[in-house]
Amino acid sequence: MPEPIEQTNEATRLPAELQSARDGFLRYMALERERSEHTLRAYGSDIGNLYAYAIPRGATTLAGLDLTLLRAWLMALQESGLARATLARRSATIRSFLTWAVREELIATNPAIRLKSPKREQRLPHILQNNQIERIFKPVPVPQGTPEAKAPEPTREQLALADRDKLILELLYATAIRVGELVSLDINDVDLDRRTLRVIGKGNKERTVPFGQPAMNAVDNWLRRARPVLRTDDSGHALLLGRRGKRLDARQARQLVSDALAALGDTAARGPHSLRHSAATHLLDRGADLRAVQEILGHSSLATTQLYTHVSVERLKESYQRAHPRA
């Protein structure tokens, strides 16, 4: 069975009923359910992928998206080698989409209710060791007598960007916030006296997250010395700025963290979520209350946070096997 082709950017080719339904669902998720732009893009992509599979097969109305077609679509995705997590997300999106369509009386029943999707793999996240955490925050020394040592003095902009990059790493690990939450921070979301951040998370839920002295120093240095160098009329109240003075893009932050982790050379951890996973695990390793960690992470369910207890148990078993004389 051929692999579905993404055509989500060709809305003009969609039958009117399908396009109207997709747009209506995305408006509902944005305005009434307050989903983030990132989530809305994922929803739109998932629905677009289904449409791209369904339309060539004659399904040009919502009623044509029956159980047989939905099962064939998922099978085609599975045969294309798509990850289980992506398959599960796409089927969940379509289930929600068609549930909304029933509520809006666009279709009579939701065939996706009977759609079985593969369970997500419960893979434990890669966690940074303590010495790796220490190294990621240390600047790499430039050996004397190398070409790098003879390079010209860095500009004020380069120094400011270096301070910003250090702040990104410090805050992601100190607070375990998501990268989308990080780049959305405004200056007034930072309380230097109390050493806390006001974070707007998933579902537009607000929470307060503490941070330690190293992150405090990085924030203070950024605000006093570095941010004014990059600030422009377009900066607004954004805490983190890009090279041109606008609010930092999440993709830039992700790339920075991935590069910093890759430079360690001895970890498979990649991306900002690795710092989030590591911070949560290290908190639990040092005796933090599970409920407190749940609040810091912004998890709505304690079951989600409990994943990190499994990580800690695995680390405990590794230490035991390595160190106990009768292991």
- Kindly name the residue from 126, 202, 207, 231 that is annotated as catalytic: 202
Closest CA to 189 of 181, 197, 179, 200: 197
Classify 82 as helix, strand or coil.
coil
231 is catalytic: no
3-class SS letters over 165-194: HHHHHHHHHHHCCCHHHHHCCEHHHEECCC
Whether 273 is catalytic is: yes
Active site (annotated) includes residue 276: yes
Pick the catalytic residue: 22, 90, 276, 282?
A: 276
Number of Cβ atoms within 10 Å of the Cβ of 117: 19
How far, in Å, CA of 45 to CA of 40, rounded? 9
- Is 205 catalytic? The answer is no
The amino acid at residue 68 is T
Q: Can you tell me the distance from the alpha carbon of 292 to that of 284, in angstroms, rounded to the nearest whole number? A: 10
The structure tokens 């570095």 sit at 226
Residue-level length of the chain? 327
Q: DSSP alpha helices (H): ranges in 104-141?
A: 130-136
Is-catalytic flag, 84? no
Task: Give the separation between CA 234 and CA 250, rounded to whole angstroms.
Answer: 17
DSSP letter assigned to residue 80: T
- Residue 282 is a catalytic residue: no
The residue whose two tokens read 């002295």 is 213
Catalytic residue (one of 43, 53, 173, 308): 308
Given 178, 247, 254, 277, the catalytic residue: 178
- Which residue numbers are catalytic? 178, 202, 273, 276, 299, 308
